[in-house]
Amino acid sequence: MSVMRLGYVHVRVTDLDDASRHYEKTLGLQAMGQQGPCRYFKGWDEFDHHSVVIEEGGVGLVKLGMKVSSSDDLARFEANLARFGVTTERMAAGESHKVGEGLRVFLPTGQTLELYTDMEYVGNELGTFNPHAVIRDPRGLTVPRLDHMLIAGEDPALTERMFTECLDFHVSERLITDIESNDLVATWLFAGQTSHDIALIKGEQGKLHHFAFWLEDWQSILRAGDVFAYDDTPVDYGPTRHGITRGTTVYFFDPAGNRNEVFTGSYRCYADTPTITWTMDTFPRALSALQREVNESFLTVFT
Amino acid sequence: MSVMRLGYVHVRVTDLDDASRHYEKTLGLQAMGQQGPCRYFKGWDEFDHHSVVIEEGGVGLVKLGMKVSSSDDLARFEANLARFGVTTERMAAGESHKVGEGLRVFLPTGQTLELYTDMEYVGNELGTFNPHAVIRDPRGLTVPRLDHMLIAGEDPALTERMFTECLDFHVSERLITDIESNDLVATWLFAGQTSHDIALIKGEQGKLHHFAFWLEDWQSILRAGDVFAYDDTPVDYGPTRHGITRGTTVYFFDPAGNRNEVFTGSYRCYADTPTITWTMDTFPRALSALQREVNESFLTVFT
Amino acid sequence: MSVMRLGYVHVRVTDLDDASRHYEKTLGLQAMGQQGPCRYFKGWDEFDHHSVVIEEGGVGLVKLGMKVSSSDDLARFEANLARFGVTTERMAAGESHKVGEGLRVFLPTGQTLELYTDMEYVGNELGTFNPHAVIRDPRGLTVPRLDHMLIAGEDPALTERMFTECLDFHVSERLITDIESNDLVATWLFAGQTSHDIALIKGEQGKLHHFAFWLEDWQSILRAGDVFAYDDTPVDYGPTRHGITRGTTVYFFDPAGNRNEVFTGSYRCYADTPTITWTMDTFPRALSALQREVNESFLTVFT
Amino acid sequence: MSVMRLGYVHVRVTDLDDASRHYEKTLGLQAMGQQGPCRYFKGWDEFDHHSVVIEEGGVGLVKLGMKVSSSDDLARFEANLARFGVTTERMAAGESHKVGEGLRVFLPTGQTLELYTDMEYVGNELGTFNPHAVIRDPRGLTVPRLDHMLIAGEDPALTERMFTECLDFHVSERLITDIESNDLVATWLFAGQTSHDIALIKGEQGKLHHFAFWLEDWQSILRAGDVFAYDDTPVDYGPTRHGITRGTTVYFFDPAGNRNEVFTGSYRCYADTPTITWTMDTFPRALSALQREVNESFLTVFT
């Protein structure tokens, strides 16, 4: 695979200390220091310097990063994107803290995506010599890694085409209005073997719906809830099992109002996995197979 | 213990076939035949003839039954109840299908409770000689047994006193308006070692809020949701973890509109376990530690 | 119920500090202080002062305690035991640290059982006013409570009769050599609603096979294993699901060589639950439905 | 990724009916018909015609298949392998039942690997239009898919080099005798994002240690054990958590004696995930972090 993963999400928060408490104490991420107005965090099973960046001042997405296998891939992507008509610019090493050279892509849906091949290597918390299988002492949700994100924009179909035609992504699932009109409401895209690294939904240009962290299993979702009760973390939706992606999940907010998700289960994708189609008449089950109902805030709150 | 368990719940349903499909195919109870307007069901791990009775015509509770260890206990309860001022009447064997002699108690909250010492023994589905640990093939939710119920009435405190003073129950948890006024909103009572066999809530006299079935664990709650998606079973609330009782749970409706719950986890009670007190200012967490929010139908739909 | 639970297990250990590390750091019990040669521990969900006592010097059982509902029960038990021909003696308050008056019973299988009605109340770690559902931060196995124990002796049938005829216990399961000879190999007894508070096996007089702690679920058994890997705790048997009791389990040793178990699942018992019979030809499945094989140390190591 | 997955495992079995019962009833695979001496099976979540082939007569591996993304990859692999010095031959469409054109590779460790780009598409059991998340009714272990395999040979290092240098695999973990000599005992290789698609162990040339099926979670491992108890499936090792791969697992045998595994958990790999090194002094924990002990048959039985 050429795009390896969603490498980082960079969001604004109203208060750095409040948000740090959330990402470090509630989610259990490792604090990786501050640089200017930003603080950095990583999951216990991540090897690179950070996967979450919070920046003081407001709420909402600043940018996202995806790590690419090689400079050759990066050059190929740059050419593909130019041909596709998407604006890009080269990033120098260090423009983004601890991140090497790369390519900044201005998505048709309005977000900024940074493609890069190097971030400072830190290592996970287990090491690579006769390691243990987990960290001994859970802390908060004990999040091992960032998983995926969902962003909004006016023309998700165009950004979907950009990801598949320029960046080697595949589409696992698509939600359309109905078979006749086939208008795209949302789409789930993967570059590796998970059901999605990024998803796109029709909505306000440039916005973030949520970013999601991986958890081990459904039991960890319950454990997350027990921690939320202590930390008074506002839950937006779930726990449930999604129809789309089959993932089990709970959505919640950081103190600034950015929506987080913890997510697990789902299924394994390959390049030959057929795309699943959903129509809006089954949307409640697509969103939540378990309850088959939709709450208002889930559909209307974007940051 | 003298009252052993909630032995059966008898409810009205609008259509016997629809309801049978729900209790047999969705919940996975064993169908135990029909007698007059009633059909009978039991869980795979129950030994007596039935634990659920459905009767054609309407919705809501007809009566409930609790099995008592001995005739001596029954006689003692009868005397206690007379002294307490609750109306009772003796039941002959067979008045309730497959149920032996007993005592019918008219609860201050308006429901009819049948205390009995014998029901026809059928045996569970594993047998008692070198048995397996579970049934081999799950069917629907694979419910092993009835667990508890929640009923409403104008004076839950009076019925609570009846259960503790006359029938040897203990109170595990109590929800009061506030410390100052100490008005009882709801109360959870146990006779054995589970956190509750019956709970009482202030509300419309004689009504049923829900009856609950035991499941093995939180994983079974997810599995329940997968079955609900297939059977289009309406979910009312959850999955969540209750603050009160610590149980993990999901609420749903049978086709007639009677509320069911599947419930697991919780904690072990003893005669010396102190009563927990909840005040209404923490009600959202008391109901649902995970989400800490209340839905309307959960508070207003009684049958 | 008159006997409420297995209240405490008192064992010898070769080194107090090593054993304390095991019970406090690995199992996650709360250290409750030292008194003379003994240290005391309780689970986070227990209300009384302690459930585990370790005493410096050797290995093996010193005594066990069971808490009884009332002095009336205690007096009745004393009379029953005298009639049965079992030696007892009255215990003064404080003879056992933090324990009130009671009755010391010398079991036919050689162990010493203390029956008592009071132990100093400490409270669990959640409190009883608007409490949380779990402790926020797991520590080791996060053991909530002591569950049951298995002891050996030459005539388990006699001690079984003592428990059922004198102390109101019921028998949930029995393992016999074969149907024809009906010789008792082992027996599981309950006073409340769990499948067993104590079990007896034919073997060396006065010995301990294991004492067991409750865990929440099968997931917690896996978590226990992850902690064992860090703490280098020797595992004796499992994880598996027992045929007998249906419990899921893993056995391990404390640093002195006393066998511990963590146990969950199992089923709910009532006074009318029929006794299950196992014959030795199915012993491998009775012990372990999952693997159906027996390891040597499990059958031969008693302390 | 160019190699997408382990597509099929083809083994010999002593009796087709016995083995079919195992793969269909115990594992819950879908029977896909017979062709000559072979029967075909697939998991409920697999889209291609089969992932398991059993052939009457004996025990042990006949061959394995890996599906490749494109003909271009296949041609590139062919050139790589020729340069590496591994013998290959072109396969015509249909030489392997339902499989398209491909390349047969004779591994240095003695097994036959078939690389192919097409197998007849059948579809999974959920469909791709508004699908459910799981199949409604579990059957046996309800295996969704084949996951990986472990094969033996005299020079695992050479076959490891072949996979990484010719077929774009990466190494997730390596077990060596000790740091000084650095002799390879076993190696785990991945082409996608799972911790391994294939593993190699030093041993008898051309042999099979096991092939493994994916399960959803640790709970499914327990459920597998409950089915094994009914079907009297011999368990070889586990349940446990591996140190290597972190996977949770149980090993068992098909009626012919081929070793199967059900496996879940583990971690997500990327091209930049560093290789973990294990030394033989920690082998018990590497094999089983939970028990840290090795059974004889696990090390000696190859087929």
- ipTM metric: 0.96
Is the predicted pLDDT of residue B85 greater than 90, yes or no? yes
Of B219, B248, B290, the CB nearest to A229: B290
Residue of A nearest to C28 (CA): A137
**Chain pair B-D, CB pairs under 8 angstroms:** 27
Cα angle D211, D217, D222 (rounded to 5 degrees) comes to: 85
Give D68's pLDDT tier (boundaries 50, 70, 90).
very high
Q: Which parts of chain C are beta strand (E)?
A: 3-13, 30-35, 38-42, 52-56, 60-68, 88-91, 102-106, 112-116, 145-153, 170-176, 184-190, 198-202, 208-214, 235-241, 247-253, 259-265, 276-279
Cα Rg, chain A, nearest whole Å: 18
Q: Tokens for C165, please give them.
A: 């005829």
* Average pLDDT over every residue of C6-31: 98
Kindly list the catalytic residues of B.
148, 196, 210, 242, 251, 261
Q: Please tell me which residue in D10, D50, D97, D210 is annotated as part of the active site.
A: D210
Rounded to an integer, what distance in angstroms lies between the CA atom of residue C190 and that of residue C198? 7
* Average pLDDT over every residue of B226-240: 97
Give C210's pLDDT tier (boundaries 50, 70, 90).
very high
Residue-level pLDDT at B296: 82
Q: Please tell me which residue in A10, A22, A210, A237 is annotated as part of the active site.
A: A210
Handedness of CA A117, A123, A129, A133 (dihedral sign): negative
Residue-level pLDDT at D48: 98
* Average pLDDT over every residue of C11-40: 98
Q: Is D273 exposed, middle or buried (0-12, 13-18, 19+ CB in 10 A)?
A: buried
A196 is catalytic: yes
| Residue pLDDT, tens place only, B135-188 | 999 999 999 999 999 999 999 999 999 999 999 999 999 999 999 999 999 999
Chain C interface disruption, residue of D244, D290, D295, D296, most C CBs within 10 A:
D290
Rounded to an integer, what distance in angstroms lies between the CA atom of residue D224 and that of residue C278? 23
Rounded to an integer, what distance in angstroms lies between the CA atom of residue D246 and that of residue B198? 44
Rounded to an integer, what distance in angstroms lies between the CA atom of residue B175 and that of residue B5? 23
Residue-level pLDDT at B106: 98
Identify the CA nearest to C243 among candidates B129, B21, B204, D157: B129
Give B97's pLDDT tier (boundaries 50, 70, 90).
very high
Residue A299, phi then psi, degrees to nearest 5: -90, -15
* Mean pLDDT for all residues in chain B: 97
Residue environment code for B195-213, b if the CB has 16+ CB neighbours within 10 A, otherwise e: bbbbbbbbbeebbbbbbbb
Is the predicted pLDDT of residue D225 greater than 70, yes or no? yes
pLDDT over 90, % of chain C: 96
Q: How close C7 gets to chain B, by Cα (Å)?
A: 12
CB C9 within 8 A of CB C149: yes
User: Is this structure's pTM higher than 0.90?
Assistant: yes
Of A219, A226, A292, the CB nearest to B229: A292
Neighbours of D190 (CB within 10 A): 26
Residues of A at the C interface, defined by Cβ within 8 angstroms? 132-134, 136-139, 217, 219, 226-227, 229-230
Residue-level pLDDT at A297: 83
Identify the CA nearest to C193 among candidates B23, B214, B135: B214
Residues of A at the B interface, defined by Cβ within 8 angstroms? 218-219, 222, 225-226, 228-229, 232, 234-235, 239-241, 243, 248, 250, 285, 289-293
Give D92's pLDDT tier (boundaries 50, 70, 90).
very high
Residue of C nearest to A134 (CA): C226
Give D295's pLDDT tier (boundaries 50, 70, 90).
confident
Residues of B at the D interface, defined by Cβ within 8 angstroms? 132-134, 136-139, 217, 219, 226-227, 229-230
Is the predicted pLDDT of residue C1 greater than 70, yes or no? no
Residue-level pLDDT at D31: 98
Amino acid identity at C230: Y
Residue-level pLDDT at B7: 98
Within 13 Å and on the Cβ side, how many CA atoms surround C113?
28
* Average pLDDT over every residue of B239-252: 98
Residue-level pLDDT at A294: 85
| Residue pLDDT, tens place only, D226-278 | 999 999 999 999 999 999 999 999 999 999 999 999 999 999 999 999 999 99
| Residue pLDDT, tens place only, C147-188 | 999 999 999 999 999 999 999 999 999 999 999 999 999 999
**Contact call for C276 and B5, based on CB within 8 A:** no
Is the predicted pLDDT of residue D1 greater than 80, yes or no? no
Handedness of CA C180, C183, C187, C191 (dihedral sign): positive
Is the predicted pLDDT of residue B1 greater than 80, yes or no? no
* Mean pLDDT for all residues in chain D: 97
Which domains does chain A carry?
Answer: 3-116 (3.10.180.10), 145-300 (3.10.180.10)
Ranges of chain A whose pLDDT falls below 50: none
D148 is catalytic: yes
